[in-house]
């Protein structure tokens, strides 16, 4: 593992730990970090051995969004095409996160701003240190929520709170984020990594295919109507019922023993 890499990865017992690693810039995204994060998530798609991903940030921040030093308008010939930046760098990674058929846990260890906040919110289980803050920083620089933020905020919080956060750019505490249902849990700072790691390891030894189908099903419910979602449940349960882990889960229950899931 190269210590100067913009993203550090470490695979242990089926859990891929992914650490955003530009602490001097509060882990803001430059092009290299974009590509390295994408490669890490792609690896989780490709390798059966990986059964859960845990993402966190090095140093005192989780991620401050786009590196604005790379976007200095005074050093550009004309107005930038930020749509192109999203299409090239952010959106493919967000699609990989949402389509990964394995749980992604995020340990938000400090401030999460702009696209940094929204990438965390696109993952499956968000734990945040009590000292962490979520900031929709876009309005402060004349931009609009991206990296899936307009979707996630509105789905998770409703229009009033989504607009409040996006238009004011005011920081939201981890506690408030949990109370509002934006994240799973606020955790004492000192306990964050232990708790997140224990949860990620638990997922890494769970019924991986069932987890993947659960993730798909809940995401589909954001856009499906009731009838379409019943059909979706029928199809995903059919697939889950054909997995070896389902057979193991029921057998273990009937045998009154702990199941041993193999992710198959
Ligand atoms: C940074 C950054 C940063 C560079 C802190 N960049 N250096 C998509 C499409 C294309 C373009 C535009 O963007 C997007 C999506 C987006 O993400 S837009 C939103 C971009 N992010 C922001 O606007 C957040 C900017 N940062 C902040 O507001 C503050 O730094 C926060 C509130 C995150 C933290 O505040 P503090 O704890 O007071 O830390 P600090 O401001 O002192 O920052 C520490 C260092 O990190 C500092 O560098 P220095 O050399 O002075 O120590 C900052 O310049 C650097 N840094 N964020 N995004």
- Residue 234's pLDDT is 98
- Residue 216's pLDDT is 97
Count of CB atoms situated within 10 Å of the CB of 219: 14
Domains of the chain: 7-204 (3.90.226.10), 208-255 (1.10.12)
- Residue 71's pLDDT is 84
- Residue 2's pLDDT is 61
Specify the DSSP class assigned to residue 182. S
Could you give the CA distance from residue 140 to residue 138 in angstroms, rounded to a whole number?
5
Q: What is the dihedral of CA 166, 171, 175, 177, to 10 degrees?
A: 10
Q: For ligand 1, atom 27, which residue shows the shortest CA distance?
A: 64
Q: Give 69 Cα–ligand 1 centroid separation in angstroms.
A: 9
- Residue 226's pLDDT is 98
Q: For ligand 1, atom 53, which residue shows the shortest CA distance?
A: 25
Pocket test for ligand 1, best of 6, 20, 26 (most atoms within 8 A of CB): 26
87 phi and psi angles, rounded to 5 deg: -65, -35
Quick check: helix, strand or coil at residue 218? helix
State whether the beta carbon of 65 lies less than 6 angstroms from ligand 1.
Answer: yes
Mean pLDDT per 10-residue interval, the chain, length 264 residues: 84 98 98 98 98 98 97 89 97 98 98 98 98 98 98 98 98 98 98 98 98 98 97 98 98 98 97
Q: For ligand 1, atom 10, which residue shows the shortest CA distance?
A: 82
What's the full length of the chain, in residues?
264
- Residue 3's pLDDT is 62
Q: Give 58 Cα–ligand 1 centroid separation in angstroms.
A: 15
- Residue 194's pLDDT is 98
State whether the beta carbon of 82 lies less than 6 angstroms from ligand 1.
Answer: yes
Where is 99: in which H helix or E strand?
helix 91-99
- Residue 72's pLDDT is 86
């Amino acid at each position: 593992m190269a210590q100067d890499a913009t993203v550090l990865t470490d695979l242990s017992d089926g859990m891929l730990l992914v650490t955003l690693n530009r602490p001097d810039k509060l882990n803001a995204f430059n092009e290299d970090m974009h590509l390295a994060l994408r490669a890490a998530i792609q690896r989780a798609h490709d390798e059966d051995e990986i059964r859960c991903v845990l993402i966190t940030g090095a140093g005192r921040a989780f991620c401050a969004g786009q590196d604005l030093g790379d976007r200095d308008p005074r050093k550009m010939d004309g107005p930038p095409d930020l749509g192109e930046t999203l299409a090239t760098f952010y959106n493919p990674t967000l699609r990989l996160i949402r389509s990964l058929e394995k749980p992604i846990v995020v340990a938000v260890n400090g401030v999460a701003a702009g696209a940094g906040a929204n990438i965390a919110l696109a993952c499956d289980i968000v734990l945040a240190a009590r000292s962490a803050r979520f900031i929709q920083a876009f309005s402060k620089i004349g931009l609009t929520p991206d990296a899936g933020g307009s979707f996630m905020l509105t789905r998770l919080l409703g229009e009033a709170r989504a607009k409040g956060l996006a238009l004011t750019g005011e920081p939201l505490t981890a506690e408030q984020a949990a109370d509002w249902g934006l994240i799973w849990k606020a955790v004492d700072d000192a306990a964050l990594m232990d708790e997140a790691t224990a949860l990620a390891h638990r997922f890494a030894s769970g019924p991986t295919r069932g987890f993947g189908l659960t993730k798909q099903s809940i995401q589909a419910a954001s856009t499906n109507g009731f009838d379409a979602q019943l059909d979706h449940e029928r199809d995903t349960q059919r697939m889950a019922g054909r997995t070896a882990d389902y057979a193991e889960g029921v057998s273990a229950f009937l045998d009154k023993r702990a199941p041993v899931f193999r992710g198959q």
